[in-house]
Structure 1
């Protein structure tokens, strides 16, 4: 952050502000550079950003700060940069943690879906076994009933005896 304006504060235009080369009232901005931190200046009313400075009208309002002030500002800038870097690292760490959590949730979801499908498959297999046994038991019961009916109503080969004798 040498001479570039990292940020400017616009105090607007006033009727007492000088006229720029464009014939408009100059705006008051505040510099936030290491060398001129906090100093106010007049600039063209058409000033948009560092690359588009209107008619290039420029005049300092405030005087230079002392050497001690420059050292303090320099340390404050360093602290600010360190905090910005730390904040960026923390933000990256948080984003990574969020992505890891999302990945873990997605993996857990897939595992639960697999477990659910396995459970449904085992349940279906048990239903099939039950239905198969039920069909066998019904068939056996039907055969037993037919055999019972045959035994009850079919005469025995002995001529003298019959199960359905009426005497």
Structure 2
């Protein structure tokens, strides 16, 4: 779907009950644009848009009629970028936690009812693994 196309809104895009319909005659969904030009701006589009779109249907209409300018636009772009960076960091930390869990499982004794000494050695091994990961993380 080309987001640069003009509005395709007219009377034929209004369905039963006043709901907007796309060219496929499906109820239009509201999406949020996160481009640098239109951060946080809502638009109507074909409900198949997120699933790869429906090639013949290029229905697009801004929900809000005005583009965002000035500091609100900059703030939205900064917030978007910060969220993307945090999602990336969360993904990296999740991978580290999963790695540590696997390594800890390798350290667990196979016999149930281990002594306190065994638990202490497992904790020490975990701390060593954590130190290794922190060193790798700073490389």
Alignment correspondent of 2:50: 49
Query: Which runs of 5 or more structure 1 residues have no equivalent in the other structure?
Result: 4-12, 113-167
Match of 2:17 among 5, 15, 18: 15
Query: Which structure has the larger Rg?
Result: 1
Answer yes or no: is the 8 Å Cα contact 1:18–1:26 preserved in 2.
yes
CA distance in 2, matches of 1:44, 1:80: 26
TM normalised by structure 2 equals: 0.55
Q: 1:16 to 1:101 in 2, by over 3 A?
A: same
Kindly report the root-mean-square deviation, in angstroms, between the aligned alpha carbons of the 2 structures.
Answer: 2.9
Match of 1:67 among 60, 70, 74: 70
TM normalised by structure 1 equals: 0.47
Cα distance, 1:28 vs structure 2: 3.4
Answer yes or no: is the 8 Å Cα contact 2:43–2:63 preserved in 1.
yes
Cα distance, 1:83 vs structure 2: 1.0
Alignment correspondent of 2:94: 91
CA distance in 2, matches of 1:21, 1:66: 31
Could you give the per-residue CA deviations for residues 111-133 of structure 1, whole angstroms, max 9, x where no partner exists? Answer: x9xxxxxxxxxxxxxxxxxxxxx
Answer yes or no: is the 8 Å Cα contact 2:23–2:57 preserved in 1.
yes
Cα distance, 1:18 vs structure 2: 4.0
Query: Which runs of 5 or more structure 2 residues have no equivalent in the other structure?
Result: 4-14, 115-139
Alignment correspondent of 1:31: 32
Alignment correspondent of 1:81: 84
Between structures 1 and 2, the one with greater helix share: 1
Q: 1:32 to 1:69 in 2, by over 3 A?
A: same
Question: Deviation above 6 Å: which 4+ runs of structure 1?
Answer: none
Alignment correspondent of 1:40: 42
Answer yes or no: is the 8 Å Cα contact 1:31–1:38 preserved in 2.
yes
Q: Higher RCO, 1 or 2 (CA under 8 Å, sep at least 6)?
A: 2
